[in-house]
Amino acid sequence: MVRLSNCLQNLALRVIKLGKLIHLRQSNQKIIQHYQQGEYRQGIILAEEALELAQNLWGEVHSHVASSMNNLALLYNSLGRHSEAEPLYVDALAMTKRLFGDIHPHVASSMNNLAALYDSLGRHSDAEPLLVDALAMRKKLFGGIHPDVATSMNNLASLYQSLGRDWEAKPLYVDALAMTKRLFGDIHPDVASSMNNLASLYKSLGRHSEAEPLYVNALAMRKKLFGGIHPSVATSMNNLASLYNSLGRHSEAESLLVDTLAIWKKLFGDIHPSVATTMNNLASLYHSLGRHSEAEPLYVDALAMWKKLFGDIYPHVASSMNNLATLFAATDRYPEALDLMKQAITIENRLISQAFSYSCESDRLAYLQTIRNNFDGFLSLITQHLPHSPKAKQAALDVILQRKAITAAALAAQNQALSSGRYPHLQPQLNELRKLSDQISHYIYHQPQPELIPQLQKDYNNLQKKLAAEIPEIRLQDQTIDHHAVALALPPDSILIEFVCFKVFDFHVAKESQGQRTRYLAFILPGGQPNKIEMIDLGEAEPINQLIHQFRQYVSDSNLAIHSLDMGGDSADDEELTHLPPAANELREKIFDPLRPYLNLSQPGKTPTLQIAPDGNLNLVPFQILPLDETGQQLLMDEYCISYLSVGRDALRSKIKIERPASVPLVIADPDFNLSVATLATDGVTDVADGEVVGELVQTLAGSIFQQTTGTRFLGESVANLLKVSPYLDKNALASHLTNCQSPEILLIATHGYFNPEKPLQDYLKFILALIDCRNGEEEKLIQQHRNLIDPTLLEIIEQVITISTKKGYQNLAHRLKTLTQHLTPKPKIPNPDSPIQNPKSKIQNSPDPMLCSALAFAGANTWLLGKRLPKPAGKGMVFAQDIAALDLWATELAVLSACQTGIGDIKLGEGVFGLRRAFAAAGAKTLLISLWSVPDRATALLMDRFFSNLHQGLGRAAALEDAQNYIRTITVKELQQFPLGQHVLEELNTVIAHSNDINPQNNNFSQEDTPLAHPYFWGAWVCQGDTTPMTLSINTAIQFEV
């Protein structure tokens, strides 16, 4: 009887449990229906009951419990109740991993859900790794075609788009749309979502004609699937309205937005993120139509709602503040606008810090681009409407000091943290990062295989992100950066000139009618006087940039420099060539004369010291050689001592204390660029067969990439003697000496620099050799395969090859190349909407990493570029800017790059020059001497001799350079004849003159008092960047430069 009673009791319990299970399943089905219909509040009531029931049935740890937690969190998130959603998502993810292991569909779903929450909160650095791992897991579990894979692709693409990484978002969106159509046909909610997402990307890229049909079709599909009142329908209406507003179709946009706002309020009530978004969009429409009284309350309510939902530090809070500030400015309430913009800037600075904590270099740049318009608007407000307000000018300078070159600051902070020894456990990852960097450069330059680059670059970026997450210093939160701190860090009696180039925003013109005008702005900050800030508007950037180009053509042209020598010629052509071009004075009038009234703050009789922080194309201007008058006899350097900073914030680097000592000076000069395995064995080039014309031409071309120059040997040997060290020359001038160095006190590299913003030079050379070597009739096929290389640069190189061939007696070869050039008309450029050059809104990269476009050439560089083998110690014969940025040079007092064009690179507004200039600063070198164009070898050797002697005598680094430049500028023929190197300088000049077709050899006579090196070409390229203070220098004064 007892046994029967127990059985009946167990049966009753099972029936009750079964009933609860059935009730739970029914509840879950209703929860899903409520979610799909946008009935989130009703769904939450059921989901809370379902979670409690699941816990009663199965305890705290069970798959049904985790599923119920995910459902409830999803509904909380949909209503903007994020603080309640996050702990549920986190616990659900931990539970699914405990139940199923790390690889399981439920784990991927939980990761995806938590990432969606983080994305909505603006916590992108937390969201990205979850989304990336969820997508990889689903591909592994389900293969390439599956609904969950498509969902993950859409989610990850959405994150990339919000971060400005459109080039990564597009392929994911396109593939997700194709996948959903293949899985579900043309009519399905997922298809509509994918269409909407891709349309959103096209709109952000300015491809409106492609976005509109996708938006229209997605809206029609959602109405057919869900009816008129549904979150997805409202989302489509909102997006289509935004597009219509951009196209100026305001009446259509207004109708859609009014209806959308009504739907959101009916679905969610008055407080919800979607309500705030639509209110903001409707306000933006009214604002653009000049209906300010209708726009303002909507902006105000949207801002209050964002703050209530997400707190003060949130992307939409900053955006709403900027929108309302723009309205205030449009209605002439400028102080109120400034106050709001300052608050938004503070929020954005916090968000930048978060974004940098898990990002690679390209991601940081992309993210900054998404908020660049706010920076431009802030400066536009102050320059146009508050130019005389001291507080406004201080606020503007503070933002510039905080934002300008900020990615370079992050890179330097990371490098310094790693070099300090605080993170030894990260060494394996650093080694792997260098390996990936070497592989990328290998497959770009040495053995071109472009199909391998995307995956290698992806792996490199992902490893960068992981390292960033481990190094908190990259967030740049340790220092207070403002005009007060910088003014106190500047040397006494110095003046900071901080330039910035920004896009002008007219607050009284609708956004869609804004032009693309940019202007240069200068701020004056005297050292130790933080309250004496001046702001000067220098005018539109385009005419200034044109003057910069013309000025650089004059000062960097060796032919003009030779013609400037007065050797008895009296032709009108000679006089025209030697005359200072009007652009030189016009440039000074534009960029410097407006500043001069504020630059005489030094003690009477003392030369004012200027520290210039350029922006845009001003990075290419050596200000010290700008003329003071039309004669060009007096230059700015005659009145000012000028040095450079990337940004005024760099003055604070002096506070960084390096405890480890510097190593002995390192001098590398005059590399044997044709070093190879064969040359080591035979001390000569033997891998080219005698009498083989094409083979000999290969070797000739190899030498034409980089050629040894005697001047670099002079310089290397003499400086090494002065510094009491042995130089690395010729075959010993190996890249490994630089890459393995331990922060030498002084670093001198005398070699060739390399900058290629577009295509590697050896690609052209290999194509030319392939044309020479191909069979008759195959030329056209080869040309079609290499259409991307057919441009003016190719034709210029072919002309050089024809000249070489003619000189060597290869007349048939020269004739064949001349014939081939008739088939090589450069293809006209077709506008490509995906190109960042053609479309300024696009951020898609169409060239290699800019830090892989600049390099220094060492022994074996030509051999490596032509795809041949190098001895192991030679490395790749090239050290790229990316490699240099990872070095430890924090104890290095001075780095001198006596190489052509070491100061140029890929210029990005607000971020400076991407190249060797950025790399050595990021590596920690305190002072950098660089050249802004190719410099003559022997004149440079003479300049460096004087420079190092000046350092030994106690002059400051900038003053030592200025004196050395004046020495070259004023030295006479008589003085040059008194010592060996001076005699060789004259011989070099005479050789150049003799080979000039434009100068009559009979006029090649110098008088004793001539100053043959007076033209800036010989000495004006050099600039001193960084620390300008004197340095202790122990040199061998008994040794002078010898030849």
Q: Give the residue extent of every domain in the chain.
A: 424-470, 483-654, 656-758+847-971+1013-1026
pLDDT computed for residue 401 by the predictor: 95
Q: Is the pLDDT of residue 516 over 80?
A: no
Q: Any idea which of 146-155, 566-575, 828-837 has the lowest mean pLDDT?
A: 828-837
Residue 430 CA to its chain's centroid (Å): 21
Tokens of 337: 């606008």
The closest alpha carbon to 817, from 857, 747, 767, belongs to 767
pLDDT digits (tens, 9 = 90+) for 433-449: 999 998 888 888 778 78
pLDDT computed for residue 1042 by the predictor: 37
pLDDT digits (tens, 9 = 90+) for 900-924: 666 566 677 777 777 888 999 999 9
List, in order, residues 6 or more apart from 805 with CB less than 8 Å away. Answer: 697, 811, 813, 814, 817
Q: Any idea which of 43-47, 176-180, 478-482 has the lowest mean pLDDT?
A: 478-482
Q: Is the pLDDT of residue 155 over 70?
A: yes
- State mean pLDDT over 119-133: 82
Contact assessment for residue 158 and residue 118, using Cβ atoms and an 8 Å cutoff: no
Proportion of the chain above pLDDT 70, given as a percent = 84
Pick the CATH number of 656-758+847-971+1013-1026 from 1.10.472, 3.30.70, 1.10.1060, 3.40.50: 3.40.50
Of residues 450 and 293, more confidence is placed in 293
pLDDT computed for residue 490 by the predictor: 92
Whole-prediction pTM: 0.81
Task: Classify each residue of 196-221 as buried b or exposed e, where b means 16 or more C-beta atoms within 10 Å of its C-beta.
Answer: bbbbbbbbbbebeeebbebbebbbeb
Q: Is the pLDDT of residue 409 over 60?
A: yes
Residue 131 CA to its chain's centroid (Å): 25
Q: Is the dihedral of CA 339, 341, 344, 349 positive or negative?
A: negative
Of residues 334 and 24, more confidence is placed in 334
Three-state SS string over 614-682 comes to: CCHHHHHCCHHHCECCCCCCCEHHHCCEEEECCCHHHHHHHHCCCCCCCECCEEEEEECCCCCHHHHHH
Q: Is the pLDDT of residue 454 over 60?
A: yes
β-sheet bridge partners, residue 744: 663
pLDDT computed for residue 573 by the predictor: 47
169 vs 174: CA distance, rounded Å: 9
pLDDT digits (tens, 9 = 90+) for 554-583: 898 877 777 766 544 444 444 555 578 899
pLDDT computed for residue 609 by the predictor: 92
Tokens of 319: 């955006």
Amino acid occupying residue 66: A
141 vs 154: CA distance, rounded Å: 18
Q: Is the pLDDT of residue 727 over 50?
A: yes
- State mean pLDDT over 963-992: 89
Q: Any idea which of 213-217, 932-936, 956-960 has the lowest mean pLDDT?
A: 932-936
- State mean pLDDT over 368-380: 93
Output the CA–CA distances (angstroms, integers) from residue 744 to 319, 663, 667, in the order listed.
Answer: 47, 4, 10
Cα Rg of the chain (Å, integer) = 33
pLDDT digits (tens, 9 = 90+) for 598-654: 997 656 667 889 999 999 999 999 999 999 988 888 999 999 999 999 999 999 988
pLDDT computed for residue 537 by the predictor: 96
List, in order, residues 6 or more apart from 628 with CB less than 8 Å away. Answer: 588, 634, 635, 636, 638, 639
What does the mean pLDDT of the chain come to? 83
pLDDT computed for residue 513 by the predictor: 67
919 vs 895: CA distance, rounded Å: 12
What's the pLDDT band for 699 if we cut at 50, 70, 90? very low
> What is residue 957's three-state secondary structure?
helix
List, in order, residues 6 or more apart from 995 with CB less than 8 Å away. Answer: none
pLDDT digits (tens, 9 = 90+) for 205-249: 889 999 999 999 999 999 999 998 999 999 999 999 999 988 889
Proportion of the chain above pLDDT 90, given as a percent = 47
> What is residue 514's three-state secondary structure?
coil
- State mean pLDDT over 576-602: 85
Contact assessment for residue 290 and residue 258, using Cβ atoms and an 8 Å cutoff: no
What's the pLDDT band for 847 if we cut at 50, 70, 90? very low
Tokens of 985: 């300088």
pLDDT computed for residue 760 by the predictor: 54
